[in-house]
Amino acid sequence: MSETFDHRKIEPKWQKVWEKENLYRAVDFSEKKKQYILVEFPYPSGERLHVGHGRTYCCLDAVARLQRMRGYNVLFPIGWDAFGLPAENYAIKTGIHPSVTTKENIANSKKQAQSWGLSFDWEREIRTTDPDYYRWTQWIFLQLFQKGLAYKAEVPVNWCPSCKINLADEEVVVGDGQLHAASDLASPGGKCERCGTPVTRRRQSQWMLKITAYADRLIDDLTKVDYRKDIQAQQINWIGRSGGVQIKFQVSGSKSQAVEVFTTRPDTLYGVTFLVLSPEKAQELLDWVPSSSRPEVEKYIRQALAKSELRRQEEIKDKTGVFTGIHAQHPLTGEKLPVWVADFVLSGYGTGAIMAVPAHDQRDFEFAKKYDLPIREVIKNSKLSKFPKEPFTGEGELVNSSQFDGLQSTAAIDKITRFLVVRKLGQKSVDYKLRDWVFSRQHYWGEPIPVIFCRKCWEVKSQKSKIKMKEGYDFVKINGEEHAINPVPEEDLPVELPYIENYKPTGTGESPLAAVEEWVKVPCPICGKQARRETDTMPNWAGSSWYYLAYAFWHKRGGQRSEIRGKRFENAFAKYEREIDYWMPIDWYNGGMEHTTLHLLYSRFWYKFLFDLRLVPGPEPYAKRTSHGVVLGPDGQKMSKSRGNVINPDEVVAEFGADTFRGYEAFMGPFEQTISWDPKGVLGVHRFLDKVWKAHQEVIRRQVTGDSGKLRRKLHQLIKKVEEDTLSLKFNTAVAAMMGWINQLSISNYQLSISDWGIFLRVLAPYAPHLAEELYQSLKNPKSGTRNPKITGNRKLETGNFESIHRQPWPKYDPKLIAKETVTIIVQVDGKMRGKLEVPAGTGEVEVKKISQDLATVKPHLYGREVAKTIFIPDNLINFVTR
């Protein structure tokens, strides 16, 4: 063997062997217990994978390798999220068509992933741009449409002037890099999540998915899964469910018109002194505004609507408003309340109108102070309230609340709600911040939406249909004319994306596909007359909303195929029901925190819908969800070419090897925390692997037989620690423990048996698979004095006779050997520490008591006193209670 670990020769050699042996192939319906481990598949929106990909892929690869050795049938797949804005932006930047750049980037990234020695099952590789794949993305959309969960509506949308597309609320970030709440709208303070350009607002007809229909289940079913608490909290807060009551305030002078408000605090109802409308809501009540007030109100509304809602929220400290001249009647007291319009009230939450309780709400208090409006206290709390200096926003005892005086807030909320409901003055209600998902995009590189608009079908249906046709669900207006919405027949799927030269966004509000007349104009599948295709495409979140299901059966569909049109329609979800049932749910899914309210939420929604169609087992796709921290540059800043701090993983692998790269990605710091890349840390891991290489030669040279003593005890402790740390995301401490053990081996002058060294190699294998394989196979080299080889140095593999270390069982530790040899006992007298003693682990109370009482630091505190009670915690503490 060479003096050092030559990764340039050894790593490619084993990668070829593993590929030839198909070592990491998952087996459907194995008798072994299954373990489906998933990492988010990457966007091929750059030439290469980066070190951030390396962190999650290498660490979860260690988990997959460990679980295989522990006896599980592991599915660890990968694919490419190749449609959507990221890939299109890259194509525009390079000036090369996205169909070309995507293929090139996938090829480069795949080669890169293979060079890292990742144990993916490549037979199941998917690409969302493959027509046979997005055939099923389109099929799922059609099921959503047929169930009334996909519809078209004119809505306010976020517009990125750089990308020239509309963005969902979830794709807009605020100044601190955090995503908007679902009810926020974009502004100069909101930026495109992809390019960072400030976004604006416009109204446009869009396809929407009714994710709000699943809002309750998306919250409630989080109790059925093992997600990190912050992941659960983000989803719950994003959905923003709140229970309350919707109350009617009748407009004075009208029997039919009322202002409805939603509140979670009906206990403050008697404290309402005015109402405030959002500018959008005020537009609906303009007919009730007196002519003397209308010019001022209309001017204010125009100015307010020129701002985005986020900007209006940012200006909340400088509240503005206008009295509309309208009054409304308090439902319980009959008091006439002035109705104002103010831009701090948003239309996206509740009803777009609020009941102002200035004594118990900070915003209302500030507004009332500014415009000299009445402030009436109705909740008292002598311990906490600072009223009238400040509003009291907590709970307490009701005052000035008629028959409800003296009640505590919790009881009052229930009683006042029932009082309103019985008298039909209000009704119980649940409101959400979550809004329906803006699903269509006006760009090229995406799945075509499989819908055809037909004028002739509209004319026929509108005359014959006894049921009123609903706009957005049954028909749309195109240039002022109604057109029926007809889904593309299943047997005609996929609607393939045509190749076009002019693929850049138009900025007109239409997709570039709208200019391709030969593609747009098609015969209607219902009546045969000329119709037109939908030219919008799906967002990049579409293909990733179900990709985890495709991995269960994709290897059985002949891989990535494109010549599929005209084949007999066969429902893949029904055909591969057994495979889906076997592998789902995913046992462990790791991905970025930035996807918590995007992909993670969307994919849970799609899966629940498929569950309702009885196509998947169980209500949740992911049993466990974890997230990794971001990898920063060596300077502690986000990596970027402009800063010159980008770490190229290919350069690290070329210089130090894949095992060093993998080991450092695991060792660099706590997996869930953001961490800076440290070149010194890379060198440290490389030195560790060189030490392993040297130790191998030394152990074989010494030919130690029999028990390895203390070192063997530490080896069994290492087995336990590496296993437990790997399965609990403590990859850095697992690697550190192996480093420490190798140092102990060196100090002991390598006095270790070859069999125990083989155990260590198995422990090392999930983290340094190439080195571990090389050394494990060399143990079978005749020159080492052990068994005949299955493979040696550079000899060829004896086909069919290869026993990889990665197919060996994970070593079992001896419980007797993992117990600590000695422990430190804290000795207390009357609860105060008076000394410590070292004793063998498991020493009983009688012996510990005797030794403790003889300690020089303890004797003075027991002198002349009687020990009334002894508290003993084995291997930990003894406390003498005296009197």
Identify the pLDDT of residue 467.
78
Rounded-to-5 percentages of helix, strand, coil across the chain: 40, 20, 40
Check whether 187 has a pLDDT greater than 60.
Answer: no
Domain for residue 106, yes or no? Answer: yes
Say what the pTM is.
0.85
CATH number, domain of 662, equals: 1.10.730.10
Nearest-angstrom CA–CA distance, 754 and 700 = 7
| The CA-based dihedral angle spanning residues 57, 62, 65, 67, taken in that order and rounded to the nearest 10 degrees | -110
Residue 528 is part of which domain span?
451-487+498-536
- Quick one: which of 398, 390, 392, 513 has its CA closest to 445? 513
Q: If you average pLDDT over residues 101-112, what whole number do you get?
A: 96
CA dist 664 and 667 (Å) reads 5
- The mean pLDDT of 388-416, rounded to a whole number, is 96
In a domain, 154, yes or no: no
Greater confidence, 782 or 43? 43
Asked if residue 503 is part of any domain, the answer here is: yes
pLDDT tens digits, 211-268: 999 999 999 999 999 999 999 999 999 999 999 999 999 999 998 899 999 999 999 9
pLDDT tens-digit series, residues 334-384: 999 999 999 889 887 789 999 999 999 999 999 999 999 999 999 998 888
- Specify whether 519 is located in the same domain as 598: no
Note whether 466 and 387 are same-domain residues: no
859's tokens: 């004797």
pLDDT exceeds cutoff 80 at 2: no
Q: Which of 817, 844, 872 is the last residue in one of the domains?
A: 817
Q: Are residues 303 and 409 in the same domain?
A: yes
164 domain residue, yes or no: no
Q: Is 356 part of any domain?
A: yes
631: which DSSP letter? E
**What CA–CA distance (Å, rounded) separates 332 from 335?**
8
CA-to-CA distance for 215 and 477, rounded, in angstroms? 30
Same domain, 654 and 802: yes
- pLDDT tier at 440, thresholds 50, 70, 90: very high
Does position 533 have pLDDT exceeding 60, yes or no? yes
Q: Give the per-residue pLDDT at 349.
A: 74
Whether residue 184 is contained in a domain is answered as: no
- The number of folded domains in the chain is 5
* 397 lies in the same domain as 287: yes
Do residues 524 and 547 share a domain?
no
Q: What pLDDT does 818 receive?
A: 85
Half-sphere exposure of 300 (CA within 13 A, CB side): 24
Q: Which of 632, 662, 685 is the last residue of a domain?
A: 632
Q: Quick one: DSSP state of residue 267? A: G
Among candidate residues 817, 834, 858, the one where a domain is terminated: 817
CA distance 157 to 640: 30
CATH number at residue 425: 3.90.740.10
Query: Whole-angstrom distance between the N-terminal and C-terminal Cα of the chain?
Result: 71
Burial of 82 (0-12, 13-18, 19+ CB in 10 A): buried
Whether residues 571 and 675 fall in one domain: no
CATH of the domain at 855: 3.10.20.590
Better-predicted residue by pLDDT, 12 or 508: 12
The pLDDT score that the predictor gives to residue 312 is 62
Residue 319 annotated as lining a ligand binding site = no
How many whole angstroms separate alpha carbon 49 and alpha carbon 113? 8
Is 557 in the same domain as 627? yes
Residues 778 and 828 in one domain: no
pLDDT at 790: 43
- Over range 737-755, report the average pLDDT: 94
306 has a pLDDT exceeding 80:
no
In a domain, 31, yes or no: yes
Residue of 601, 273, 292 whose CA lies nearest to 436: 601
Q: What are the phi and psi torsion angles at 411 (to 5°)?
A: -70, -40
Model confidence at 788, in pLDDT bands (50, 70, 90)? very low
Q: Write down the pLDDT at residue 302.
A: 87
Regarding whether 344 and 323 lie in a shared domain, the answer is yes
Other Cβ atoms closer than 10 A to 849: 16
List b or e across 98-107, with b for residues whose CB sees 16 or more CB atoms inside 10 angstroms. bbebbeebbe
- Assess whether 794 and 756 both reside in one domain: yes
Q: Which pLDDT value is given to residue 458? A: 94
- Classify residue 544 by its DSSP letter: G
One domain for residues 405 and 297: yes
**Tens of pLDDT, residues 658-684:** 999 999 999 999 999 999 999 999 999
- Is residue 644 assigned to a domain? no
